[in-house]
Amino acid sequence: MIMRGIIMITEMLSLTFMQRAIAASLMVAILGGYFGAFVVQRGLSFLGNGLAHAAFGGVALGILLRQEPLYMAVPFTLIVSLLIVWLKDHTLLGSDTVIGILFALSMAMGSIFLSMTPGYAGDAFGYLFGSLLSVTKADLWVTAGVMVLALGTIPAWGRWASATFDRELAMAEGMPCQRDDYVLAAALAVTTVVSMKVLGITLVAAFLVIPSASARLVSRTFASMTLLGMVFAVVGSLLGLVVSYSVDWPSGPSIILVQTAMFAACMLVGRRG
């Protein structure tokens, strides 16, 4: 039994497409776990959902223009994310309303772009639920680029944490909260896009939420919640990939199932502790 497991994992590691899927998952797990702490504490899961659907519009545009889909999806989703924050700041509408509108618009545009693409027979199912086979070399480069950009926001962690805890106080002490909202939304946008290949559009938002929510249940400080969220995201993604490979389930749902099991475990530990 153990031998069979070792053989399977060795085999899995020797396959190029699996190596790519693992590398991509590791990077998006670190990103998702890090920004997920803010998503959970600021109640931004609907934003994550909206951005994932915006990414679909960008992917479809890429397919229509016969470009690498992620090259289109990154700027497209970035623009939608900034537009969401801008509309929220400059109208009387709440963010859920603004997200709801742009979410639908992006999906509508994406569907129209696909319908305009002659002879498109791509794997829509793969985009919806994630696919191990779909991670390309270009995806890895884009993801690595996003990782580098995300590293640039680490010095802002303390400021973002303060503003998450008490925004009025942070503003009263002169922190640039409105500017930071744009940066955080942009960071979430690019994280969402690069997570899409492995997780699928429908499950990206959950991927941003579940590891950090699990970490919240067993953390007393925001620093430990951030760190544990990243650990849970990485462990959950890797185990999810093993499940996906061994029973041939789509990668997104496999990862989410493992992460949810970890969440349940944290519920039990958290209740006792």
Partner 1 sequence: MSASAAIVALDVSVQFGDYRALRDIRFVLPAGGFLAVIGPNGAGKSTLIRALLGLVKLTSGRLQVLGRDPAQLEKNQVGYVPQIKTLDRQFPALPLELVVSGLRGTWPWRIRPAERAAAMAALKRVGMEELADRPVAKLSGGELQRVYLARAIVRHPALVVLDEPATGMDVVGEADMYRLLESYRAEHHAAVAMVTHDWEVARHHATHVLLLDRRQIHFGPPEEVLTDAHLRHAYSHMGHHHSMEVSPAHDHAGHHHDH
- Contacts (CB under 8 A) with partner 1, residues 196-225: 216, 219-225
Instruction: Extract the tokens encoding 105.
Output: 């618009």
Q: Between 212 and 251, whose beta carbon lies closer to partner 1?
A: 212
State the nearest-atom distance from the C-beta of 94 to partner 1, in Å.
12
Residue from 25, 95, 143, 164 touching partner 1 (CB under 8 A): that is 164
Amino acid at 260: T
State the nearest-atom distance from the C-beta of 12 to partner 1, in Å.
36
Residue from 46, 71, 86, 157 touching partner 1 (CB under 8 A): that is 157
Q: Between 67 and 178, whose beta carbon lies closer to partner 1?
A: 178
Residue 62's region, left for phi above 0, alpha for psi from -120 to 50, else beta, is alpha
C-alpha dist (Å) from residue 14 to 11, 17, 20, 215: 5, 9, 11, 32
The answer to whether 83 touches 31, Cβ cutoff 8 Å, is: no
End-to-end C-alpha distance for the chain, whole angstroms? 35
Give the separation between CA 187 and CA 179, rounded to whole angstroms.
Answer: 13
Residue from 121, 174, 248, 271 touching partner 1 (CB under 8 A): that is 174
By CB under 8 A, tell whether 273 contacts partner 1.
no
| H-helix or E-strand spanning residue 258 | helix 251-272
Number of residues that bind partner 1 (CB under 8 A): 29
State the nearest-atom distance from the C-beta of 189 to partner 1, in Å.
23
Q: Which residues bind partner 1 (CB under 8 A)?
A: 41, 89-90, 92, 157-159, 161-162, 164-169, 171-175, 178, 216, 219-225
